[in-house]
């Protein structure tokens, strides 16, 4: 039985640092986009509420990635749907009490909209700017993702875009995508270029056994990333190494990992329990893909309280520690220190 929450987690000002833009689009928003296109005779796709029934959050690594490549990317494929969905994502985070969000997205050309990758990033930023004017309590930044299937050249292109759009709020690069694909050593040069330009770096780390070989983990650790996402299949020696990296951020995504069966067992078996008290690294609970896994950030905190029995002060202390690992700069850190409980 769910115990009474000791805090109003929706009102609690929160920080979200690991949220994929397209995976954060609510099913209702996808449905709105579909309905409009269907009415205009612009799509043959099935209704998103049929493809992704509202109660179904159990996507695993086999069904999750094709959902994007064979469905959502065909629906959100023009300037209007990109603008509408991006604003809707920012608004949903704001209404859940998120005070600061770093969205991440993989630059993709949209030939239908006449947008190349730079046009895509610019359109996302424009929609984020508009949404923040409507939700002034929330500040948003953007991280550009390299997909594991990208070539070396494509990865450098992502870094070039991140540099180009820094003045509009791009703060970092990420490495994401299907963990069974690609060889991370392909991206060493791109990560080095990003760091040399003063961009921050966050990396999906050991989220599946296929992406947790000694070679892969040691390559990623040698990049000295600022933050790591997931951190699931980590051998003891690498855990010790992470523990000595004072100030490294760990973006932990509980519902995603449980629903996608990326961990063995349920919430109480999640490695959040292992990391949250460790002194050097800073744990930040995140949603990953709230549109797919259906658990808003306020609910992630409620799950943490329920399964790990944190006291009120421990929850508020942990939430505030997250400020130290945001990529949004000192002024934003100061603002968050003032408004967070
Ligand atoms: P986008 O980058 O805004 O298009 O967001 C969707 C993309 O994020 C997917 O196609 C994946 O490449 C990536 N993604 C979302 N969740 C995960 C995850 O848990 N692991 C790795 N990649 C992910
Ligand atoms: Zn992710």
User: Would you say the CB of residue 68 lies under 6 angstroms from ligand 1?
Assistant: yes
User: Would you say the CB of residue 20 lies under 6 angstroms from ligand 1?
Assistant: yes
**What is the structure's pLDDT at 2?**
63
pLDDT in tens, 159-184: 999 999 999 999 999 999 999 999 99
Query: What is the average pLDDT score of the chain?
Result: 97
**What is the structure's pLDDT at 91?**
98
pLDDT at 5 over 90: no
Q: Are 203 and 174 in contact (CB under 8 A)?
A: yes
Q: Are 43 and 75 in contact (CB under 8 A)?
A: yes
Q: Are 151 and 143 in contact (CB under 8 A)?
A: no
In CATH, what is the architecture of 14-336?
Alpha-Beta Barrel (3.20)
* Residue among 68, 77, 261 to mutate when testing ligand 1 (max atoms within 8 A of CB): 68
Ligand nearest to the CA of 22: 1
Q: Are 249 and 227 in contact (CB under 8 A)?
A: yes
**What is the structure's pLDDT at 46?**
98
How sure is the predictor about 329, in pLDDT bands with cuts at 50, 70 and 90?
A: very high
How sure is the predictor about 4, in pLDDT bands with cuts at 50, 70 and 90?
A: confident
**What is the structure's pLDDT at 1?**
60
* All structural domains of the chain with their residue ranges: 14-336
Which helix (H) or strand (E) element contains residue 176? strand 170-176
């Amino acid at each position: 039985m769910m115990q009474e929450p000791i805090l109003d987690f929706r009102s609690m000002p929160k920080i979200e640092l690991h949220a994929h833009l397209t995976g954060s689009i609510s099913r209702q928003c996808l449905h709105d986009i579909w309905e409009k296109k269907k009415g205009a005779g612009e799509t043959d796709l099935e209704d998103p509420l049929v493809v992704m029934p509202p109660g179904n959050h159990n996507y695993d690594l086999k069904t999750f990635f094709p959902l994007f490549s064979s469905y959502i990317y065909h629906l959100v494929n023009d300037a209007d749907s990109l603008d509408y969905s991006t604003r809707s994502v920012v608004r949903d985070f704001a209404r859940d009490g998120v005070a600061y969000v770093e969205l991440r997205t993989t630059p993709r050309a949209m030939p239908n909209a006449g947008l190349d990758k730079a046009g895509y990033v610019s359109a996302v930023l424009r929609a984020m700017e508009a949404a923040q004017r409507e939700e002034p309590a929330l500040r948003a930044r953007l991280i550009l993702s390299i997909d594991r299937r990208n070539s070396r050249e494509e990865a450098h292109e992502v870094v070039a875009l991140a540099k180009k759009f820094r003045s509009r709020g791009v703060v970092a690069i990420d490495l994401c995508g299907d963990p069974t694909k690609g060889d991370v050593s392909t991206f060493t040069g791109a990560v080095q270029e990003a760091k040399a330009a003063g961009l921050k770096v966050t990396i999906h780390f050991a989220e599946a056994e296929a992406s947790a070989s000694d070679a892969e983990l040691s390559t990623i650790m040698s990049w000295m990333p600022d933050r790591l996402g997931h951190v699931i299949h980590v051998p003891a020696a690498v855990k010790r190494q992470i523990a000595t990296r004072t100030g490294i951020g760990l973006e932990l995504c509980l519902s995603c990992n449980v629903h996608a069966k990326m961990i063995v067992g349920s919430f109480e078996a999640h490695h959040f329990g292992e990391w949250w008290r460790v002194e050097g690294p800073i744990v930040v609970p995140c949603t990953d893909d709230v549109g797919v896994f259906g658990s808003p950030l306020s609910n992630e905190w409620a799950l943490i309280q329920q399964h790990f029995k944190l006291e009120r002060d421990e929850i508020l202390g942990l939430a505030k520690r997250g400020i130290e690992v945001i990529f949004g700069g000192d002024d934003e850190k100061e603002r968050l220190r003032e408004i967070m409980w």
